[in-house]
Every structure is written in structure tokens, then in C-alpha cells.
Structure 1
Amino acid sequence: MLYPSIDSLMNKLDSKYTLVTVAAKRARVMQEKNDAKIQKPKSHKSVGKALEEIDAGILHYSTNKNVEVDTTPTTAE
């Protein structure tokens, strides 16, 4: 059985896409800076450690829903 389980992780975040995105970004930072915030992780890999941080409630995220998207077509020159 995998730890942490997908069920416990989905209670922390709103979608699987968000889970993957947050974990991947945190894993990349963790690899660059070697700064795991969880004590005695069960996983040896960065993504597993990031998932453990999410499950423990150490890692949080926020979204900016007020982002404007430019939908005007561009022309090739």
C-alpha cells in the first residue's frame, strides 16, 4: 500500500491535477535546496516527501482566481 494514500491526499486538495502540480513544484524546490520540512520521511524520493508534506498539512497552496486571460487572436507576421 502506498503512503500517503490518495484518499487522504484528496481530503487536503481539491483535485488530482492540483495534487500533482503542487507535489511536482515542491519536489523540484526540495531537490534544488535540499530542505525537506517533514521529520523522518518514509519516502526516499522528493515527490514522495512532497506528498508526505501535503498529507501532514505542512504544505499549502493558494490560487489566484482573478487572473485575466487575453483571448484575442494573434496574427503571424
Structure 2
Amino acid sequence: MNQPSLDKLMEKVDSKYTLVVLAAKRARALVENQDPLVSAAKSAKPVSVALHEIVDGKVTYRQAKGGIK
């Protein structure tokens, strides 16, 4: 499973910091046995799966006044 390019990922978020937080939170959910939203090999790392979900538009975020939630 190849990593999506940073350019494609940045089209989905407003900053690289938002991308890091979003990917980390989604990867943590995957580690806690949430089902992946994209087809992935069993050996794929949670962060890789999270990045693919973000670039495919399966995972989004909303900006709150106090930060990302």
C-alpha cells in the first residue's frame, strides 16, 4: 500500500498540522478496532490506512473555535 502524496492530502485539509492531528486520531481509532473505511491489507499500518481514508474523502473534520475536534 503506497502512501498518498502530500499534495493530494493537502487538498483535503487546511494545514499540515490539521493533517497530522486528523491522521493520528483516525489511526488511534483504527488501533482500537474500528473498521477501516477503505480496503486495506491486514498488514497495513494504521497511519497508512488513515492517510488513504483522508485522501479518499472518507474521513473529514470540522474546525471548532477551540481547535480541531
Aligned residue number for residue 49 of structure 1: 49
Alignment of 1:6-45 (within 5 A): 6-40=6-40, 44-45=44-45
Per the normalisation by structure 2, the TM-score is 0.83
The TM-score, its normalising length taken from structure 1, stands at 0.75
- Extract structure 1 runs of 4+ deviating beyond 2 A: none
Greater relative contact order (CA < 8 Å, ≥ 6 in sequence): 2
Count, aligned residues: 64
Aligned identity (percent) is 48
Q: Greater Rg, structure 1 or structure 2?
A: 1
CA RMSD, Structure 1 to Structure 2 (Å): 1.6
Which residue pairs with 1:60 in the alignment? 60
Residue ranges of structure 1 left out of the alignment (5+ in a row): 68-77
Structure 2: unaligned runs, 5 residues or longer = none
